[in-house]
Structure 1
């Protein structure tokens, strides 16, 4: 529990009291004995499973991924504690997502109890009640927002059942999966979803949907195996047609407003690696809506080499007879091609959407800002789900 899933719109729910002013500074001044967070988290989970062994079933067999994400979440809480409105939105979405794990408010109480024990163990003789109180306020703020998010999403299914109807190995480490959900899946092009393989119960990873909504309820996912084990390896190497997977609710902020100003702007879409997936879905949606008249859409596919252009034939087919769509492969480890592209045009794009490895997204954003694109017209998801 308490694992980040990326930026998304926050479900509605009750108002949550923010932490006290000064809590962040107090926590930061006494953070050193608690670092690295890995050690704190190990003590936390040991205490929780000893006291309440029945909670172990909510977690995957391997806790490595969970520990990494909880450490990231602790850091995120501390970094953003002075921005409670922004933090509240992310935590509400996180709480809504945790419903698929079977997490209830009582489980958060057990988590708080175990965290307090771990803080005292790791804090040692220098630990004070004042610092502990600041940690408790931070945690209770987080839990209250997550519970509110879960309540706000009560009418939304925690997950959808899906059947794999297509599995293509485009490279030894990459597969394109097509999954048909049993019930309609209400998403927008550009969004992402968490997937669970039966090979790894209680373990979820997020992947962008690589197609616009279709009447046959088929979703396409581009999955790259980045390491042995884990959900990506299970989906690439251990999954076949007919297998069942579970699909979490759609999340993400890359969708276009086809009824508003988005449709009247020239678009620049930059996808790196499997971050191509949401860009492909957006182009499909734009084409299906017949809103491209007089507008220009440039899709830049960033790849280290030609082998990384794993979906190029499908993109060429998508661009056929669509004069408004321009495909641009950008090969190489840096973004010089994008810089040259921006220098070569007299006008900047009206809207730029980015997806891929975090370094690529940060570099592309910097180039766009330098080229004069306002920051509010550059969009990307914080965790860039499509890059996995």
Structure 2
């Protein structure tokens, strides 16, 4: 074993030993997180690992989850301070570059926790910073979002002690990026913000200790339905709990530590097989590895099922389902779930695609309806009027299709008394949800997966205006569809 790996495992061993010691000596008071959150540097602010941090075994870690209480954190006050000096460290590209350079230089064994390409990770961290700053006055929302993030980070091997290295590197990067105008009070506000978010992550991770961080799975079938799209079926080595309409993260051994979210395209089956529909969205990423370089017999890792785009046990209203492109995957699972029920509600399905050839898996509408008398299907094909060419605008070519789908949904009926499920490319989901809401459907009656676009700084600066809570879902759990 290399010296680097020996240092890494010794660090983890020291952390776990101190954690066990604190539990034995002081049950129920494992960490000093609330004090650290409230007091910033005065309560044990940024400390370098190896001097006085919990990682060295000489003091308690500031990153525990015991007694985590969002109400104890005055995020609005830190929000004002951070915002006042935000121009010194934005855009975040330079800050994040300095942060990772510092962390990997001082603790090189942490590099193995990250994928080989850091591009996605840098974008992920930038939108995490933006989300935190824009929502600091909403500590309950942050606690919920970062609790989910903490549960998901377990599959990466992240431990609370690692966040101490991140904090020290962040403080050094802030000073280096901001220059002489940087103020100690601003750094303390950043540290309190980070510690609050991390305490939520640690709390979320510890609440999920009974759940495996991931499942090993074998690819049982791999079918190319289009040059850029594949349907994969996999079987996990242990029972995998989930509900129709949920999604899961996949990791290919070709890209270690790089995970992407994909909807599960089937309801739970007796044989335990899972199905995923993957569209290649870029070169060199997870989607390309799954579409172009994965075959039957290969192994993948599957993260825990997530998402609330599921059917209630007792359906109280009729349903309207909207699916475009690989957004068909979770809707297919919902239809399987509905077909297995004895009592049915009327269901209207709008199926969007650039052309009939792009309906890669659903089959003809008549076939979908044949064994489901409670289902009516309306295909929405995005073509320019008067031409035979598929139309599309915007970066991914889905803006015009989005408008066609949204217009078709609102034109074909009043859905205010229905429950809606919307899935597909971000543009389609956003346009459809906006139209349904404008038509009078309560937001609570519309369910959709977290969106996959990057959360960018809003034009309202840091006001936390309408939509901030919804944006939280897009920040960290985007489903590729």
TM-score > 0.5 by shorter chain:
yes
Q: Which has the larger radius of gyration?
A: 2
Q: Following the alignment from structure 1 to structure 2, what is the Cα–Cα distance between the partners of residues 337 and 147?
A: 41
- Could you say which residue in structure 2 is the equivalent of 1:94? 149
Contact 2:416 2:442 in 1 (8 A): no
**Change beyond 3 A, Cα 1:266–1:246:** same
By relative contact order (CA 8 Å, sep 6+), the higher-ranking structure is: 1
Q: Following the alignment from structure 2 to structure 1, what is the Cα–Cα distance between the partners of residues 201 and 415?
A: 43
After superposition, the C-alpha distances for 1:300-333 in whole angstroms (9 at most, x for unaligned) are: 1222223321112287655322111122211212
Question: Is 1:373 equivalent to 2:425 in the alignment?
Answer: no
Question: Is 1:52 equivalent to 2:104 in the alignment?
Answer: no
| Match for residue 430 of structure 2 among 344, 362, 369 | 362
**Change beyond 3 A, Cα 1:64–1:344:** closer
Once the two structures are TM-superposed, the CA of residue 15 in structure 1 deviates from its matched residue by 3.4
Once the two structures are TM-superposed, the CA of residue 141 in structure 1 deviates from its matched residue by 0.3
Question: Is 1:270 equivalent to 2:322 in the alignment?
Answer: yes
Question: Is 1:344 equivalent to 2:412 in the alignment?
Answer: yes
After superposition, the C-alpha distances for 1:17-46 in whole angstroms (9 at most, x for unaligned) are: 434432112212211121121211111000
- Could you say which residue in structure 2 is the equivalent of 1:81? 136
Q: How many residues get paired?
A: 373
Q: Following the alignment from structure 1 to structure 2, what is the Cα–Cα distance between the partners of residues 387 and 12?
A: 35
| Match for residue 197 of structure 1 among 240, 245, 252 | 252
| Match for residue 311 of structure 2 among 240, 256, 261 | 256
TM-score relative to the length of structure 1 = 0.91
- Could you say which residue in structure 2 is the equivalent of 1:284? 336
**Change beyond 3 A, Cα 1:314–1:141:** farther
SS in 2 for 1:107: helix
Alignment of 1:227-238 (within 5 A): 227-238=282-293
Q: Following the alignment from structure 2 to structure 1, what is the Cα–Cα distance between the partners of residues 218 and 73?
A: 42
SS in 2 for 1:180: strand
TM-score relative to the length of structure 2 = 0.74
Gaps of 5+ in 2: 1-64, 383-400, 453-477
Q: Following the alignment from structure 2 to structure 1, what is the Cα–Cα distance between the partners of residues 365 and 108?
A: 50
Q: CA RMSD in A?
A: 1.9
SS in 1 for 2:363: helix
Regions of 4+ moved over 6 Å: none
Gaps of 5+ in 1: 1-10
Q: Following the alignment from structure 1 to structure 2, what is the Cα–Cα distance between the partners of residues 51 and 232?
A: 33
Contact 1:162 1:245 in 2 (8 A): yes
- Greater shift in the superposed pair: 24-33 or 223-232: 24-33
Question: Is 1:38 equivalent to 2:93 in the alignment?
Answer: yes
